[in-house]
Amino acid sequence: MIKTYIPRKIYLERIKPFIDKEIIKIIIGQRRVGKSYLLFQIMDIIKGLHKNPNILYINKELNEFDKIKNYQDLLAYIKQKTRGQTGKHYIFIDEIQEIEKFEKALRGLQAKGGYDLYCTGSNAYFLSGELATYLSGRAVEIPVFSLSYAEFLEFHKLKENHESFIQYIKYGGLPYLMHLIKEDAIIYDYLRNVYNTILFKDVVSAHKIRNLAFLERLVEYLADNVGSLVSAKKISDFLKSQKIKISPNVVLNYLAFLGQAFFIFQVRRSDVQGKKIFEINEKYYFGDLGLRHALVGYHQPDINKVLENLVFLHLLTAGYAVTVGQQEGGLEIDFVCEKAGQRLYVQVAYLVTEENKEREFGNLLAVRDNYPKIVVSMDELPDKSEYKGIGQKNIREFLLHSI
């Protein structure tokens, strides 16, 4: 199988330590973020490490694999294709959640030995819960996201400038966009088709949802309220005002389904001092901004929430665990980020002016610890810029140099 691609170095570096190890590699993420091509890149690394390795690729999105419906079919297919081969077998399975009880096959192959297993999945519902228990200690998850800003420039062969950044904001980071003419009608038509695929395959079909109209209205509500504190009750009350009667419990279920498809991400609030997690009022961000704009459009007045979503995705790509920081007196930090025992505080603004400077920096100044704190904005700034000891960085520089 010959595939041309641009390497996703961020993820390859995270996967390389597990190649040839007896641990199942599960690459997770929203549809169309490039998981399949990441498998091809891993195959090429393996070909560089071993002479004529035994590689078997199964893609459940292709019709030729329709007969593989459950774990027994999968095991029978692998046995047939590897018969007579000697040495280790490298098995790659794309969209493995389409195979019923696939975890039994993975565990059986791993227990048997001689198999190096890689798979991708687009729905966390099938990759957590019982599966996590069943494969405990035997699997590692590698989340994959839309293109980072640096990747976007590389994929689209663009120079780094304001115009390129606006393209990134408008169209998002789905890799296939590199093959399309950069016109709104063409790009958003493609993105709406991707949205429909995610909604119907990974949400409606996976969870047997009947109230499609409500689900679509919920997505629109989230798109309008990116980065705002929301709760199931608040959403339910809003829908009632629109003559749509839905209980908070149903709202919670639908939010969970959208999150399991990696279409949205829930970000919970935490107490900055005590690390307590609050149970109500979360923020929601989209897994790809282009998909958000395909639904409700990209409008300049939304720039604050759009930039916040962009920074959030970048922090996830960089490997941070992210919460919204809450302090006494109602002061809020946009993002409290933790990785490898270290912490970073990030506040996002469109532009910092004399009128809003105290507000944008004040919440960070109120945090009494020595971890790095930074305000990210679209201001054109010198290399080193700060206010009362708090750093400030241009968002393009932040996106390019903080992974």
Tokens of 80: 């047939």
Q: Any bridge partners for residue 399, and if so which?
A: none
Which residue in the block uniquely carries the two structure tokens 């109120």? 366
Domains of the chain: 9-143 (3.40.50.300), 149-401 (no CATH)
Nearest to 271 by CA among 329, 343, 340, 324: 324
Q: What is the C-alpha to C-alpha distance for residues 173 and 33, in angstroms, rounded to an integer?
A: 8
Q: For 188-199, what is the mean pLDDT?
A: 97
What's residue 87's pLDDT?
Answer: 94
Per-residue pLDDT of 203-232, as tens digits, reads 999 999 999 989 999 999 999 999 999 999
Tokens of 312: 């959030």
Give the N- to C-terminal CA distance of the chain in Å, as an integer: 32
Instruction: Using the Cα atoms of residue 224, residue 230, residue 234 and residue 235 in order, give the sign of their dihedral.
Output: positive
CA 48, chain centre distance (Å): 29
Contact 402, 314 (CB under 8 A): yes
Residue 239 has pLDDT above 90, yes or no: no
What's residue 155's pLDDT?
Answer: 97
Q: Vertex 321, ends 318 and 327: CA angle to 5°?
A: 125
Q: Any bridge partners for residue 385, and if so which?
A: 392
Q: Any bridge partners for residue 264, and if so which?
A: 286
Contact 11, 23 (CB under 8 A): no
Tokens of 55: 């590689």
Per-residue pLDDT of 136-151, as tens digits, reads 778 899 999 999 999 9
